[in-house]
Amino acid sequence: MAKKSQKPDSASIPQTTGNAGETHQRAGGSAELLTTDQGIPVADNQNSLKIGARGPVLLEDFVLREKITNFDHERIPERVVHARGFGAHGYFQPHKSHAKLTRAAFLQDPGVKTPVFVRFSTVAGSEGSPDLARDVRGFAVKFYTSEGNYDLVGNNIPVFFIQDAMKFPDLIHAVKPEPDRGFPQAASAHDTFWDFVSLMPESTHMLLWAMSDRAIPRSFRMMEGFGVHTFRLVNAKGVATLVKFHWRPKLGTFSVIWDEAVKINGADSDFHRRDLWDAIQAGDFPEWELSVQAFSEEEAAEFDFDVLDPTKLIPEEVVPLTPLGTMVLNRTVDNFFAETEQVAFCPANVVPGIEFSNDPLLQGRLFSYLDTQLSRLGSPNFHELPINRAHSPVQNQQRDGHMRTTLQPGRIAYEPNSLDPSQARESVERGFTSFPAAEAGDKMRIRPESFADHYSQARLFYNSLTEPEQRHVVGAFAFELGKCEVLAVRKRMLGRLALVDQELCDHVADALGMPGQAEKLKPAVPARDLPPSPALSQYLKAPQSIEGRKLAILVTDGADEKLIAALKRAAKAEGAVVMVVAPKVGGFTTAGGEEMPADFALNAAPSVLFDAVVVAPSEAGVEALLKTAAAVDWVRDAFGHLKAVAYTTAAEPLLAAAGVQPEADEGVVSLKSRDGLAKFITAAKRHRLWDREPQVR
């Protein structure tokens, strides 16, 4: 591979060169000299020390270790990142033996179910922050295999903001609440974040994802997961295959829209947690298929990007997914703190047959996660906590330490020994052995030139989205940059967007009232036009289904019990549930005089909590609803959030008060006709009525 990037991106600050197009401030002039905590001057704060430009990171890199160690120990006991999390138990079962790919035991026998624990999380917010923040979602899976624990610690977005772990503390410091004021919480819409990423061209691709609907998922159950990095699978013959891991949800990948997310956070800040809990408690167990994109070193060398660069993805049209098996979550935790909060993930926890690549972000994570757990859980024996304990035998000569609970008899605590032949011994045949990858090169802090294209895949992602998805990206950038007080930051970020797509830049600039003000930046590598990848769009591949969805029916005294029963039957047949919303939680009396319970009171259950709605008051009941702002907003929001809305004749005055025309589009369905309910279910299967959006937003 080439040694270094030749022309860095230009920006409005002094630059140093040789780091794959990064721009950062040079020490000199009035700037203070950057040093380690020991006062040692730092020559390069951008790159880890590696063997060659694409080689592994060296343990001797004291600058990296000090920086990461300090960052890992900043907060106790809450996680510095991924503090807001929710977990569940389940199992993983392979479809068939994958012996050609890997020797990993849990991927061999389709009759074996491997226990798993999964923790979903947001990244930036504190433990008490709301679920629907615009943020990356963590997707961490602990496999309790017969050969020990394997942790696949990923996100719901396949790329990341940075290329080297050296920059992770800076990224998180930038996105966290600003230290002089302690806000904003769980939000990237502020100056320090956008100042940092606008100076880091490598962040551009991830920013497009973060400003897309992917960052505000409808549910954990409807969220993809990715391993992000390139890993290596090795089979029993020692043959290695490079892979990217993918989790694909059975229910499809869906999101909410921004206005809806804002209102959900106010109505139910635990929306994602509650959704997963309710589904498992109801026996509606979420499922994901685990797949890999598998490719050889030779194929990787032919790609027009570097597979060691975590800001890049492999389009599925280039390397299709190979399904491995299914994960099912079927049990909630017994104690949130003991399990969800004390679970300790680490990308370095691998089993024989799964290994790492030289991705410099991954290499840093291999050190950082273990260091973090030592601080957060307070002991090197955190592996003995029940949630972290391996289900396979643990036998070694490690002893003592804070909070040790294992009782190990005998006088032997070393290896080799001749005094106790029964003591555990190493095994070349069964033990973990590393793939003998050849590494050679000079020790250096540098990015390879193959990491320097920061805009082609960002353009690929944007051009692969549907028109509604593109509108949402524009709206997100406009909202976030609109929160930035520093004009230079907004101009610089507009300059980055112009390098991705001029139309995108123009739309965002117009929304900000800043047409023509984008800073002129010169990329290290100009963006190339790549063939669109339909797989990158949520909605092009979305299933036409309401399975796993929540429908709501708004009723009053005198409501038609037959309609309610028919709606519940129709929803159940499609795998959905119906929640009854009434003016009061105590219930209502039907037209037939039957006393029926309500699931929610109207003022506690805005329509943002549901996927589609039916408005079915009685003629007498609608008069009271017309005087209730919550009822008018219930209908107005459902329509404005592009959901299917069915209504009875008695509900028409309420629709009028909400500004919704009867049968305004295919998603506004009258229940007068015999097939009205079927039409409503069909409309709800579309998830959103996107054609409505230009009229209401």
Q: Where does 157-270 have alpha helices with state H?
A: 168-175, 191-198, 204-210, 258-267
Residue 568: what are its φ and ψ, rounded to 5°? Answer: -65, -40
Scan for tokens 């551009």, then name that residue. 204
How does DSSP classify residue 287?
Answer: E
CA-based torsion, 518, 524, 530, 536: positive or negative = negative
Report the run of H or E that residue 622 belongs to, with start and end.
helix 619-626
Q: What is the 3-state secondary structure (H, E, C) of 376-436?
A: HCCCCCHHHCCCCCCCCCCCCCCCCCCCCCCCCCCCCCCCCCCCCCCCCCCCCCCCCCCCC
- Taking the C-alpha atoms of residue 12 and residue 520, their distance in angstroms, rounded to an integer, is 9
10 Å CB burial of residue 579 (0-12, 13-18, 19+) is: middle
Q: What is the DSSP string of 543-586?
A: -S--TT-EEEEE--TT--HHHHHHHHHHHHHTT-EEEEEESSTT
DSSP strand pairing (322-332 vs 85-94):
antiparallel
Q: Single out the catalytic residue among 149, 155, 265, 358.
A: 155
| Close Cβ partners of 650 (under 8 Å, ≥ 6 residues apart) | 616, 617, 618, 619, 621, 622
Report the length, in residues, of the chain: 697
Rg (C-alpha) for the chain, rounded Å, is 27
Count of alpha carbons within 13 Å of 607, Cβ hemisphere only? 25
Whether 463 sits among the annotated catalytic residues: the reply is no
Distance from first CA to last CA of the chain, Å, rounded? 48
10 Å CB burial of residue 409 (0-12, 13-18, 19+) is: exposed
361-381 burial, b at 16+ Cβ within 10 Å, e below that, comes to bbbbbbbbbbbbbbebbeebb
- Taking the C-alpha atoms of residue 456 and residue 101, their distance in angstroms, rounded to an integer, is 31
Scan for tokens 């479809």, then name that residue. 95
Preceding omega of 606 cis (within 30 degrees of 0) = no
- Taking the C-alpha atoms of residue 534 and residue 620, their distance in angstroms, rounded to an integer, is 50
- Taking the C-alpha atoms of residue 379 and residue 389, their distance in angstroms, rounded to an integer, is 14
SS3 668: strand
Contact 186, 478 (CB under 8 A): no
SS3 664: coil
In sequence order, the β-bridge partners of residue 122 are: 137
SS3 142: strand
Whether 246 sits among the annotated catalytic residues: the reply is no
Q: Single out the catalytic residue among 19, 24, 47, 82.
A: 82
Phi-psi region at 283: left, alpha or beta (left = phi > 0; alpha = psi -120 to 50): left
In sequence order, the β-bridge partners of residue 154 are: 139
Extended beta strands in 113-214, E state: 114-122, 137-145, 148-155
- Taking the C-alpha atoms of residue 394 and residue 408, their distance in angstroms, rounded to an integer, is 11
Residues with active-site annotation: 82, 155
